[in-house]
Amino acid sequence: MALDDITSGSVVARQRLEPHPSSVSRARRLVTRALGDLGRDELADDAALAVSELVTNALVHAGTPMEVVVSRRRAEVVVEVLDDNPRLPFRRHHSELAGTGRGLHLVEQLTTAWGARERPPGKAVWFLLGGEPVTDTPTAGDSTDRGWDPDLHAGSDPDAELEALLAAFPDESPPPQHREVVLLDVPLLLHTAWQQQAESVLREYLLTRLTGDDDRVEAELETHASVHEAVVLLQEQLPAPERGIHPDELMASAVEPLVSAAQVAFPVPPGAVASFERLDAMLDAAMELADAGALLTPPTQPEVREFRRWLCREVRDQVAGTADPRAWSGHLEMTPVVTGAAPSWDSTDVVCSSQALVASGDTNSILAVSAPAARLLGYDSPDELTGRRLLDIIPERFHQAHLAGLTMHLFAGRTGLLGREVSVPALRRDGTELPIDLLVETVSLPGGRHVFIAEMKVAGPASPA
């Protein structure tokens, strides 16, 4: 660490870091020590957490050497993380019911402001501490230099700067070398859930690969960064469906066709196809480890796996010109095979209950059914439902919402409708729908497994049995 003079806008500390997991703790120590030298120990905890997030992002998504720079600007402290990947980050948006608060959301909460700027051959992501809170923190890409500049931004108007930026960069058609990919019948809500599942699984898988000598570690990080390029491209190009905040709004917005798009078209550079092929292969390898119990990740629904394969195949084949677009709606022609064992759990209380209860596992299979629940759904015996997929008692227009909600709960902690009574239709054996009041509670088991117990009450006149 090098200490320079501490005049306004001066560099206080800087350190070059290698693309290795140990760089996270080194960055924390650098920033904490620099703030101590400045007499700003009260900022140390927030700064350490924020720089940990930025270095982790650079480690996982860039995979290049990086540099951490701490500067002082009057009463403010600026921390920058520089890497050699030019792709600027952007903040993901989640509903208020989301259980996530990680990444750039955490940086936003901890700091006065944050942003990013281009710094060839890569970028610099920065955050500011100790100044007056900025009401409109510029998202990455919202300023001409994509970042903080003490002279440029002193007394500036962020709204005016944003308008000027948008005027300076009008929409342009994709370069001729890009190929347009067209996705048909796109399940947008499932894509949102898959993004969270993929992020979690890829991080876990990366940790299993960071072994061996420095050359191997560097190669793994470079491959992971390449894979992430495909994930980010999809995240930027596929729209997110509108989701309500309150339970009634959430239910109303979570049905087909509101959660799907008939067509989404976007440009893909030819060089990105290799990233999609690596993404497909890496997630297949990770799923094999997960199924064998070698990864500490929740079960993944077969539709989520097939959705990723469909995405990667469509990009690969369309860019290569070997196939016309094939709709997702026709992709799953057979009942998906559920992988992974059901959680071990004592079902006695559900089976013997006088209430209409259905218990399902985190593999989405029905584990136990009470006799009143079986009768309510038109079955002669609970055994006729036990072992089937929970989707068999959910109307098809809610299937995507159910699969996405389960995935986002398991991989991101999103609570959704858990613990909230809602009015929904249940699908009976004869194909009719029964309006019910549904309350779902979670039972957490050892090893990170889950069981979901649903209590059903008739909300209106029952359909004839």
List the chain domain ranges.
Answer: 10-168, 179-330, 348-458
The candidate with the shortest Cα–Cα distance to 70, out of 116, 103, 28, is 28
Residue 303 has pLDDT above 60, yes or no: yes
List the one residue out of 142, 145, 146, 147 whose CA is nearest residue 158: 142
φ and ψ at 95, to 5 degrees?
-75, 170
The CATH number of 348-458 is 3.30.450.20
pLDDT in tens, 353-401: 999 999 999 889 999 999 999 999 999 999 999 999 999 999 999 999 9
Calpha distance 354→107 (Å, rounded)? 49
Residue carrying structure tokens 């940990």:
52
400 exposure class (CB count in 10 Å sphere: 0-12, 13-18, 19+) = buried
Structure tokens at 87: 């792709």
Task: Give the pLDDT mean for 276-291.
Answer: 94
**pLDDT per position as a tens digit, 194-214:** 999 998 899 889 888 887 777
Q: Is the pLDDT of residue 18 over 70?
A: yes
pLDDT band at 147 (very low <50, low <70, confident <90, very high): very low
Highest averaged pLDDT of the listed ranges 140-149, 179-188, 446-455: 179-188
Tell me the range of 4-13, 232-241, 288-297, 361-370 where mean pLDDT is highest.
Answer: 361-370
Q: Against a cut of 0.85, is the pTM above it? A: no
Q: What is the mean pLDDT of residues 115-141?
A: 72
HSE, side-chain direction, 13 A CA sphere, residue 281: 11
**What are 70-114's pLDDT values in tens digits?**
999 878 899 999 998 887 775 544 433 333 334 576 788 788 889
C-alpha 111/C-alpha 125 separation (Å) is 13
CATH code of the domain made up of 10-168: 3.30.565.10
Predicted pLDDT of residue 336: 56
**Span 303-327, average pLDDT:** 94
**DSSP states of 109-177 as a string?**
HHSSEEEEEEETTEEEEEEEESSPPPTTPPPTTSSTTSS--HHHHTT--HHHHHHHHHHHS---PPPTT
Provide the H-helix boundaries in 9-149. Answer: 22-37, 44-57, 103-110
Q: Work out the mean pLDDT of the chain and round it to a whole number.
A: 80
Phi first, then psi: what are they for 236, rounded to 5°? -75, -30
What integer pLDDT is reported at residue 174 of this predicted model? 47
The partner residues of 386 in beta bridges, in order of sequence, read none
Q: What is the mean pLDDT of residues 187-194?
A: 94
